Structure 1
Amino acid sequence: MAAARAGAQRILLGVGGSATTDGGLGALQAVRAGGGLRGAHLTVLCDVRTPYERAAEVYGPQKGADAETVARLTSRLLATAAWLPRDPRGRPMTGAAGGLSGALWADLGAELVPGVQAVLDAVGFDALLGGADLVLTGEGRLDAQTAEGKVVAGVARRAAAKGVPVHAVVGRCDLDDAGLAVLGLAGAVEAGDPGALRSAARTLTSARRRALSRRDAPSG
């Protein structure tokens, strides 16, 4: 709202990683109380492709919600979807941040885009890959949801197109080697405490040496 009051014509809002599942109602109330977007175009950078109605089901258990709580939150999302000017149900990316992205799309006409792609474009990631031996990325928990538009998957996809190996440093890895291969990762290292982080650094240093050796090896 501060950006809108300052005269911004385009506002970028990054969403995701929220433990709140209010369907975006709090944000809509705040926008109205603040005087609206004043003609600014709102682009929401989403970290997942999950639709609105599945936000509680997919992310609630991660944040400690039991089955009863998930059912209650889902019921509220469905009720909110019916009340909004446009129905966000079934539309990819509307479930980011507990439905926040869907409410902004439905009520304020926000444009929803994959966040990782927008950020990688903004920093010139593809050009940076030209001088890279390998890429390091990370996430708190590497699991099946990683492929649903999260940063690690986006980075791996871009790097694979340039033939640069990608290693992930994570708090926890729930994927086996096949799962890592699907994401396009050369490896994943768990580093949930300082000792493990130091060990990960040694492991990745070795991985870089191997990458350099393969690159510099004579062909034929």
Structure 2
Amino acid sequence: MRDRVPEGLSMPTLLAVPDKFRGSATAPEVAAAIAAAAEAAGWSCVQLPLADGGEGTLDAFGGANWTTTVTGPLGTPVAAPWRMGDDGVAVVESARASGLDLAGGAAGNDPVGATSRGTGELVAAAIAEGAHRVIVSLGGSATTDGGFDTAEVLEAFAPFDGRDGRAEVLVACDVRTAFRDAAVVFGPQKGATPEQVVELTGRLDRLASLYRQRYGIDLAAVPGSGAAGGLGGAFAALGARLVPGFGLIAEHTGLAEAIAAADAVVTGEGRLDAESFNGKVVGGVLELAAQYDVPALVVAGDVDDGVAGRATAVSLLAEFGTAAAWADPLGCIERATTAWLRKEEARP
């Protein structure tokens, strides 16, 4: 293992590149636990928390350094954090402006009346502050308004193609849901009754027709346009590009270069299953680690039996028990990582 250490350095380097553990730990918190394990095992550590284009994208870019008050999902003002770097690239999470959590979860949400306007206002604020590129992550929204309220706010700034001094907008999304399917797929988790799902689907059909007439776009041909209750479709109508979230974040954070420079990699998420290898953080990290011949560990809250052989992985539930895994996931992550690093160090 130490043969991989650059000349002049005394410690091998671990790269911590986890996703969030939904409901129990953020990606930066998990990365910090991995870093603590590295220190305990005598390794140095580079922390690079990641996301796949949904919630947590802001953290992957370094966290918020701006806050703007915008219209929340239920119409009341919310202070929404966002980020802009010296390079003029802004990062906005729709969940921070129009998120289901801001509406009090499914029980407190108004699934028919919830508005995406705040997301549009957040993008407008970034452009007003000089952003030439805006990355918008979709996920965790309370809305199924087809992005109409966002389109209303942003129409004057469009098209978002980066030409003629206009801002370029890249929409990071981790689903390929069709526009008209947004209500069927996501409506129930936002509190919509079966009758409301039918109502919302009818509204999405009408909006698809409106967007076709106004902007000349057939959203049926745009994978991911149903993301965030159709917000992806509204951005596409305004000329933004919908792109796979993990690839976009990996490019902007220099993930491939970071993995190539590391002696070992630890990634992780709440549950490792087949979807983890379908455009998600863990699968993408493992693919790059294999490409650069860097040993990699996955720490996960739980590991599905069907994927157990696809990666070197530790299930916190199996290793430490249900009570410990839920009560102290970060401590369990640290212990699992330390044990693996010591095994790696002992390898010939």
Q: Normalized against structure 1, the TM-score is what?
A: 0.74
Asked if structure 1 preserves the Cα contact closer than 8 Å seen for 2:316 and 2:332, the reply is no
The structural deviation recorded for 1:160 is 4.6
Who is 1:109 aligned against?
239
Q: In 2 relative to 1, CA 185–64 (structure 1 residues): closer, same or farther, beyond 3 Å? A: farther
- Pair 1:48-2:48 in alignment: no
Deviations for 1:161-180, whole angstroms, at most 9, x for unmatched residues? 4454342545xx5x722146
- How many pairs align? 210
Who is 2:304 aligned against?
176
Letter in 2 for 1:18: S
Question: Which runs of 5 or more structure 1 residues have no equivalent in the other structure?
Answer: none
Any residues of structure 2 matched to 1:57-76 within 5 Å, and which?
A: 57-76=184-203
Equivalents in 2 of 1:17, 1:150: separation in Å? 16
The structural deviation recorded for 1:73 is 2.2
Who is 2:112 aligned against?
none
The structural deviation recorded for 1:149 is 3.7
Deviations for 1:145-165, whole angstroms, at most 9, x for unmatched residues? 655544444444444544543
Asked if structure 2 preserves the Cα contact closer than 8 Å seen for 1:133 and 1:212, the reply is no
Asked if structure 1 preserves the Cα contact closer than 8 Å seen for 2:244 and 2:279, the reply is yes
Letter in 2 for 1:115: G
Q: In 2 relative to 1, CA 113–6 (structure 1 residues): closer, same or farther, beyond 3 Å? A: same
Q: In 2 relative to 1, CA 44–203 (structure 1 residues): closer, same or farther, beyond 3 Å? A: closer
Who is 1:16 aligned against?
139
Q: In 2 relative to 1, CA 210–68 (structure 1 residues): closer, same or farther, beyond 3 Å? A: same
Asked if structure 1 preserves the Cα contact closer than 8 Å seen for 2:146 and 2:231, the reply is yes
Who is 2:209 aligned against?
82
- Pair 1:209-2:339 in alignment: yes
Q: CA RMSD in A?
A: 3.4
Who is 1:99 aligned against?
230
Asked if structure 2 preserves the Cα contact closer than 8 Å seen for 1:46 and 1:112, the reply is yes
Q: Which has the larger radius of gyration?
A: 2
Q: In 2 relative to 1, CA 169–104 (structure 1 residues): closer, same or farther, beyond 3 Å? A: same
Who is 1:165 aligned against?
296
Deviations for 1:64-96, whole angstroms, at most 9, x for unmatched residues? 334333333222222211211312124222222
Q: In 2 relative to 1, CA 100–142 (structure 1 residues): closer, same or farther, beyond 3 Å? A: farther
Deviations for 1:83-120, whole angstroms, at most 9, x for unmatched residues? 113121242222221111111112x1111111221112
Asked if structure 1 preserves the Cα contact closer than 8 Å seen for 2:267 and 2:285, the reply is no
Equivalents in 1 of 2:139, 2:269: separation in Å? 15
Asked if structure 2 preserves the Cα contact closer than 8 Å seen for 1:48 and 1:93, the reply is yes
Which stretch shows the higher mean deviation, 194-203 or 17-26? 194-203
The structural deviation recorded for 1:22 is 1.1
Equivalents in 2 of 1:209, 1:39: separation in Å? 51
Who is 2:28 aligned against?
none
Which stretch shows the higher mean deviation, 69-78 or 81-90? 69-78
The structural deviation recorded for 1:212 is 4.6
Equivalents in 2 of 1:199, 1:5: separation in Å? 41
Identity %: 35
Equivalents in 2 of 1:82, 1:189: separation in Å? 48
Deviations for 1:166-198, whole angstroms, at most 9, x for unmatched residues? 42545xx5x72214656x572444699986252
Equivalents in 1 of 2:324, 2:335: separation in Å? 17
The structural deviation recorded for 1:12 is 2.0
Equivalents in 1 of 2:285, 2:309: separation in Å? 14
Give the secondary-structure state (helix, strand or coil) at the position aligned to 1:131. Answer: coil
Asked if structure 1 preserves the Cα contact closer than 8 Å seen for 2:224 and 2:233, the reply is yes
